[in-house]
Chain A
Amino acid sequence: MSKALLYDATMCIGCKQCEAGCAQQNKLPYDDTVAAESVQSEHKYTVVLTKDDKFMRRLCMHCEHPACASACPVGAFHKTKEGPVVYDVWKCIGCRYCMVACAFAQPKYEWHSLNPRVRKCIMCPDRVLAGKQTACAEICPTGATKFGDRDDLVKEAQDRIRQSPSTYLPRIYGLNEVGGTCVLILSSVNVEEYGYPASAKIGDTPMPEYTGKVMSKVPDFIPVWSLVLGGIYWISHRREEVAAAEAQEQEQKKTGSAR
């Protein structure tokens, strides 16, 4: 069963412990300067955003059908059955198609490195495989970020909305977006205000399907198109042969009659 994270923005107090925990887990620098940065970057996989007195976390959504994994020419990204979308740096050639393909703009790049890597939240796969929860969920003092089975978390989110409909907007962001994600978000305000792409815009269709429709035709297209091209070649050159043979015949006739 696939694991997931449920982030409940109404429970978040903006303490940024998740940022610190994430940095420690991933051996990233973390101090007051980094804490003050309000954008994700190659050294900040997750960020807690503040608007008025409300908070919102951003991190990789760990799509059920990740665009990055389908886009990568060398398969450096893959979706594990446990949920995390992970990155194999040794395969990466640095084409950055994953960055362009991601609807949530999550992969970030080490622009100033001479051997740059793509950086993003990988949902602590070592911990998850060992049966532990992610670093951010473990450290969260209020339970705003909760780790668990995706199905259970969806049920819990639905319950929370049902129990206090005045607190929450009646939606779970990530439930169906781009075919569902392993990060689910509950909030009292629209997540779009914090830079998340609008549900209507990204839709419920998994992004890989848009390119998959074309790619799936390639195996059939190759033999068919080769045959068509070969046929055209044969016909146009056959005509030439016939013309040459006829010319030769005429020539022979001429020489024959002359004699």
Chain B
Amino acid sequence: MKSKLTFWRAVFLVIMGLGLYSAFIRYFRGLGAVSNMTDQFPWGLWIGFDCLCGVMLAAGGFCVIGAVYLFNVERLHSVVRPAVLTAFLGYLLFIVGLLFDLGRPWYIWHQLIYMNPHSVMFEVGMCVMAYTTVLFFEFLPNVLERFNLKTPIKWIKKIYAVLVILGILLSTLHQSSLGALYLIMPSKLHPFWYTPALPFLFFGSAIAVGLAMTIFESTQSAKAFGRHLELPVLVELGGALLVALWVNALLRFEDFFHRGLLGQIIKPSYEAYFLWLELALAFVIPITMLSFKKVRLSPNGLYLASIFTVLGFITNRLNVSLTGFETYVGHHYVPKWTEFSVTLMIIAAGFALFGLAVKYLPIFPKETHAGEQRLRTETGPMAATAVLGHAGD
């Protein structure tokens, strides 16, 4: 166990080292030196993955908060704190990613004074700013509890209903607006992905991925931090995920059908291959899996189905932001290694911060010591989280 720990710690350090090197290149040599972005491809991996996917992956926060506080589904209460933590970290890291991608990040505050209400980007920016603030207050009780500060917790409890409603309102707005960003490019984005329904599709996929990510991170933390897995909660989430996937699949089908693309999408082409990959990962595989009761009741089945869902919708957003432009531009965009390494560094930082938060804050309810023993017996890819969780030690 000891050597394994060191191995993963080494991986973490290597990722951080390369990331810092790339960050140096970014800020001292410019965007041109650090990335393969060009005038033809002004948006690359950092927008496609760090921003579009990052915000989607952090959607679990508003999904779970909505279920528990809006619809009063008490059974999911135990996943509220980890989901809020993931969302808060997700949005903070999204902002970090943005600071890499923006050409003049030191002027990011201009958003607040030079407002252009016609711009979708303006709306996304304002919502993300406001929502990160809401998440901060939703997350704050964890810290206050840790230091036993009871009065401010009471204040937050008093405004919690407002925070809940505001959070969901802002999430609805910016999750869908991320899709609306692309509405202004009807002549550039490939018809497979350009659709007036983009805002709806982005919102729908955020909910599916939010649920999938909650399953994923609950299982992952159970394995990594040796926590007892609350199967009934996961089963509940899995059922909701199945419904969300069906709704998404139906939306997608309706969209292709109404735009008369059903004939085109089954014909092999460069775009079609990527579309098939996306549809298989996001819909065919997880829907088939979750349709079996046996899978819906098994922690490993739910875990796998959630991973497929997440990968599928990541593929979807990368298709919208990258693949969909290649035919228009006339050449491929492959991110430079330094772009990947910045993204990896941000992800690794996310894992590490999650681990630190779980370690020092009351994110999960207190457990007996028996649970801790289980951690030591867990193996496999989950070790990564375990170690990254300890990386900050």
Q: Is the CB of A103 closer than 8 A to any CB of chain B?
A: yes
Residues B30 and A111 in contact, CB atoms below 8 Å apart: yes
Q: Is the CB of B316 closer than 8 A to any CB of chain A?
A: no
Interface of B is mostly: helix
Residues A97 and B119 in contact, CB atoms below 8 Å apart: yes
**Partner of A108 from B39, B164, B196 at Cβ < 8 Å:** B39
Task: Determine, out of B165-173, B229-237, B356-364, the stretch whose residues face the partner at the interface.
Answer: B165-173
Interface residues of A toward B: which range? 35 or more
* Cβ contacts under 8 Å, A100 to chain B: 42-43, 185, 188
Residues A92 and B183 in contact, CB atoms below 8 Å apart: no
* B323 CB → nearest A CB, Å: 15
Residues B187 and A202 in contact, CB atoms below 8 Å apart: yes
Residues A225 and B184 in contact, CB atoms below 8 Å apart: no
Cβ < 8 Å to A, chain B residues 123-176: 123, 125, 161, 164-165, 168-169, 172-173
Q: Is the CB of A137 closer than 8 A to any CB of chain B?
A: no
**Partner of B164 from A70, A97, A207, A233 at Cβ < 8 Å:** A233
Bound-state Cα–Cα, A108 to B187, Å: 18
**Partner of B183 from A72, A214, A225 at Cβ < 8 Å:** A214
Task: Determine, out of B83-91, B101-109, B249-257, the stretch whose residues face the partner at the interface.
Answer: B101-109
Chain B contributes a number of interface residues (CB within 8 A of A) equal to 55
Quick one: given A101-B185, A226-B165, are A211 and B120 in contact (CB under 8 Å)?
yes
Across the interface, name the chain B residue whose C-beta is closest to A200: B187
* Cβ contacts under 8 Å, B298 to chain A: none
Across the interface, name the chain B residue whose C-beta is closest to A208: B118
**Partner of B199 from A113, A214, A233 at Cβ < 8 Å:** A214
Residues A105 and B39 in contact, CB atoms below 8 Å apart: yes
Bound-state Cα–Cα, A75 to B118, Å: 9
Residues B42 and A211 in contact, CB atoms below 8 Å apart: no
Task: Determine, out of A1-9, A121-129, A236-244, the stretch whose residues face the partner at the interface.
Answer: A236-244
Residues A101 and B173 in contact, CB atoms below 8 Å apart: no
Q: Is the CB of A96 closer than 8 A to any CB of chain B?
A: yes
Q: Is the CB of B110 closer than 8 A to any CB of chain A?
A: yes
* Cβ contacts under 8 Å, A113 to chain B: 30
* B381 CB → nearest A CB, Å: 35
Number of A-B contacts (CB under 8 A): 162
Q: Is the CB of B10 closer than 8 A to any CB of chain A?
A: no
Q: Is the CB of B379 closer than 8 A to any CB of chain A?
A: no
* B10 CB → nearest A CB, Å: 33
Q: Is the CB of A215 closer than 8 A to any CB of chain B?
A: yes
* Cβ contacts under 8 Å, B270 to chain A: none
Quick one: given A112-B32, A215-B117, A218-B123, are A93 and B108 in contact (CB under 8 Å)?
yes
Quick one: given A93-B111, A210-B184, A232-B70, are A115 and B104 in contact (CB under 8 Å)?
yes
Residues B71 and A97 in contact, CB atoms below 8 Å apart: no
* A167 CB → nearest B CB, Å: 29
* Cβ contacts under 8 Å, A42 to chain B: 39
Quick one: given A105-B39, A214-B199, are A221 and B173 in contact (CB under 8 Å)?
yes
Across the interface, name the chain A residue whose C-beta is closest to B66: A229
Binding site for A on B (CB under 8 A): 27-33, 37-40, 42-43, 69-72, 101-105, 107-108, 110-111, 114-123, 125, 161, 164-165, 168-169, 172-173, 177, 180-181, 183-188, 196, 199
Task: Show 25 residue pairs from A and B whose CB-CB distance is below 8 angstroms, ordered by the A residue.
Answer: A41-B39, A70-B116, A71-B184, A73-B111, A74-B115, A74-B116, A92-B107, A93-B103, A93-B107, A93-B110, A94-B102, A94-B103, A111-B30, A113-B30, A114-B28, A114-B30, A116-B30, A211-B118, A211-B119, A211-B180, A211-B183, A211-B184, A215-B118, A215-B119, A229-B169
Taking A197-B187, A213-B183 as known contacts, 18 extra A-B pairs with beta carbons closer than 8 A to each other, sorted by chain A number, are: A40-B39, A72-B116, A72-B119, A76-B114, A92-B104, A95-B121, A96-B43, A109-B39, A114-B30, A116-B104, A207-B185, A208-B184, A210-B196, A211-B180, A222-B169, A225-B172, A229-B168, A233-B69
What 10 pairs across the A-B complex have the smallest Cβ distances? A94-B103, A111-B32, A75-B116, A99-B42, A236-B72, A73-B121, A73-B122, A74-B114, A94-B104, A112-B32
